[in-house]
Structure 1
Amino acid sequence: MTPFAQGALLGLSAAAQPGPYQAYLLAQSLRNGAVRTLPVVLVPLTSDPPVIAAVLVALAQVPAGLLRALQLAGGAVVLWLAFSALRGLCAPLAAPEARAPPRGFWRAVLLNFTNPNAWIFWSAVGGPVLAAAWRDGPADAGGFLAGFYAFLVGGNAALVATAGGLGRLGPRTQRALTAISGLALLAFGLWQLAKGLSGPRA
């Protein structure tokens, strides 16, 4: 299998896996519309490089203490985003503003960077594959990253487009989907905090 194909399969799998980032994309699509939310699907290109660099430099699994800290910090971030989404249910629905709030992008960067799943993925799966591809040559490493992010970003863009289309079905549908995305964020945040508080198992 070529490095590009390896990256494509892993990127598609990551995009299809439900998580707090996907729930946030759904909430933003309903609030701001699909077109204004599409830039947010580029967030992994901003938040992942520090994670990849740290994992490759360490050349080891991410320490359990760091994962626990990320779970606690990430859980708090997800709960904050959940309350923001659910608070919007109390306000009357309105047409999207002329421009999307720029903070939505950076909120997603913070959400993705504090998501322990990203650190685990690059430590256990993506990092070793990328390191092996780099040993075969920079072109192979570049092909792996190109395949991964093409399908990760493409899959998330498809989610945004689908959610934006459903949001146009009417106010009741939009409120229902907003509630679902907010409750999903709430569940992810509570689960992440619980894992961080319980600590690593012996």
Structure 2
Amino acid sequence: MWLYLLQGIGFGLAAAAQPGPFQAYLLSQTMQNGWRRTLPAAFAPLISDGPIILLVLLLLSRVPAWLQRGLYLAGGLFILYLAWGAWRAWRSFDASRWQRVGPSQRQSVWHAALMNALNPGPYIYWSLVTGPILLSGWQEAPISGAAFLFGFYATLVGALAGITLLFGLARPLGPQINRTLLGISALALLAFGLLQVYRGLG
């Protein structure tokens, strides 16, 4: 059991540390709405990954190529939509805006969960890397599989929450820093969105 727990912790940390659209989304939301309103979005994988894990384990192999391309395309379009929102916020930036109330925490969580569900990354990750480990642990003993899942998601969510708090520390530094980071997040979302659309069409 302990071996699977340690593997879960290691893979959870690796997943959180990899730059990607989800991390760019957290940066964008933190710069727009503050870390308190964005923090619940770190829990989005707990909402979106359940069906992904079940689907991957039922397939017992890698995600079909046609589904992968479709997910790339749908996810890319959604990320471009988020990039457009971040760009609009950057273009109409007003220092006084940061004192106002932004979108609700619930909206932030569901946007993050939807983006994660439309991102092929979790499907590929669970089919090629973590899925076989989870399946092996569960076959040995259900508690081993549960330990792997616990280690993975406790570390993943904790690390994403830490990233959100880190971004939040930059927010009080001043309007110019906020606007710069918001612009960076918009460009990052644009790049990730275009890349996924390209992969979906390729």
TM-score tier by shorter-chain length is: over 0.9
- Per the alignment, residue 95 of structure 1 pairs with 98
Instruction: Name the counterpart of 2:120.
Output: 116
**Separation (CA, whole Å) in 1 of partners of 2:100 and 2:137:** 44
Q: Which one has the bigger helix percentage?
A: 2
Cα offset, 1:4, TM superposition: 0.6
Matches within 5 A, 1:5-84: 5-84=6-85
Identity, % of aligned positions: 46
Q: TM-score, normalised by structure 2?
A: 0.95
Pair 1:144-2:120 in alignment: no
Task: Report deviation, 1:99.
Answer: 6.3
* Post-superposition offset of 1:36: 1.5
Match of 2:165 among 157, 161, 165: 161
The 8 Å contact of residues 83 and 189 in structure 2, kept in 1 or not, is answered as: yes
Q: Is the 8 A contact 1:24 1:185 kept in 2?
A: yes
Measured in 1, the distance between the counterparts of 2:109 and 2:17 equals 20
Helix, strand or coil for the counterpart of 1:163? helix
TM-score (norm 1): 0.95
1:133/1:114 CA distance change after superposition, 3 Å: same
- Corresponding pairs, count: 198
Among 162, 169, 175, which residue is 1:171 paired with?
175
C-alpha RMSD of the superposition: 1.2
How far apart, in 2, do the equivalents of 1:168 and 1:69 lie? Answer: 40
Q: What residue identity is the alignment partner of 1:6?
A: Q
Quote the Cα distance in structure 2 between the aligned partners of 1:6 and 1:179.
Answer: 36
Q: Which runs of at least 4 in structure 1 moved beyond 3 Å after TM superposition?
A: 96-100
Q: Is the 8 A contact 1:31 1:96 kept in 2?
A: no
Segments of structure 2 that go 5 or more residues without pairing to the other structure are none
CA offsets 1:54-89 (integer angstroms, 9 cap, x no match): 011111111000000000000000000000001001
Q: Distance in 2 between matches of 1:97 and 1:108?
A: 22
Shift in Å, 1:96: 4.7
CA positional deviation for 1:90: 2.4
* Contact 1:33/1:96, CA 8 A, preserved across alignment: no
Is the 2:25–2:112 contact (alpha carbons within 8 Å) kept by the matching residues of 1?
Answer: yes
Identify the residue that residue 137 of structure 2 maps to in structure 1: 133
1:79-112 Cα offsets, whole Å, 9 max, x none, are 0000000100122132254464232211111100
Q: Which amino acid aligns with 1:163?
A: F
Look up the SS of the partner of 2:154 in the other structure: helix
